[in-house]
Amino acid sequence: MVTVEVDPVHVESRLAAGAIACPVCRVGVLGGWGYARARRIEGLSDRLRPRRARCRSCMVTHVLLPVTVLLRRAHAAERIWVALTARAEGLGHRRIGGMLGIPAATVRGWLRCAGQRLETIRSWLLGVAVTAGVNVAIPDGSGCPWRDVLAAAATATSAIRFRFGPVGLLGAVTPAGVAVAASGGRLLAPGWPTLPRSR
User: Out of 58, 91, 104, 130, which residue is the one contacting Zn ion (CB under 5 A)?
Assistant: 58
53 contacts Zn ion (rule: CB under 5 A): no
109 contacts Zn ion (rule: CB under 5 A): no
The C-alpha atoms of residue 161 and residue 156 are separated, in whole angstroms, by 9
Q: Which CB atom, from 24 or from 118, has the smaller least distance to Zn ion? A: 24
The secondary structure of 83-121, three-state, reads HHHHHHCCCCHHHHHHHHCCCHHHHHHHHHHHHCCHHHH
The closest alpha carbon to 175, from 77, 90, 88, belongs to 77
Q: Which CB atom, from 62 or from 79, has the smaller least distance to Zn ion? A: 62
Minimum CB–partner distance for residue 55 and Zn ion (Å):
3
CA distances from 185 to 16, 92, 93 (A): 23, 25, 22
| Torsion 118-119-125-126 (CA) sign | positive
Q: Near Zn ion by CB under 5 A, which window of 7-15, 24-32, 102-110, 128-136? A: 24-32
23 contacts Zn ion (rule: CB under 5 A): no
CA distances from 181 to 1, 29, 56, 192 (A): 12, 19, 23, 13
Q: Near Zn ion by CB under 5 A, which window of 15-23, 71-79, 165-173, 175-183? A: 15-23
25 contacts Zn ion (rule: CB under 5 A): yes
User: Out of 2, 22, 80, 156, which residue is the one contacting Zn ion (CB under 5 A)?
Assistant: 22
Q: Near Zn ion by CB under 5 A, which window of 50-58, 98-106, 127-135, 139-147? A: 50-58
55 contacts Zn ion (rule: CB under 5 A): yes
28 contacts Zn ion (rule: CB under 5 A): yes
Binding site for Zn ion (CB under 5 A): 22, 24-25, 28, 55, 57-58
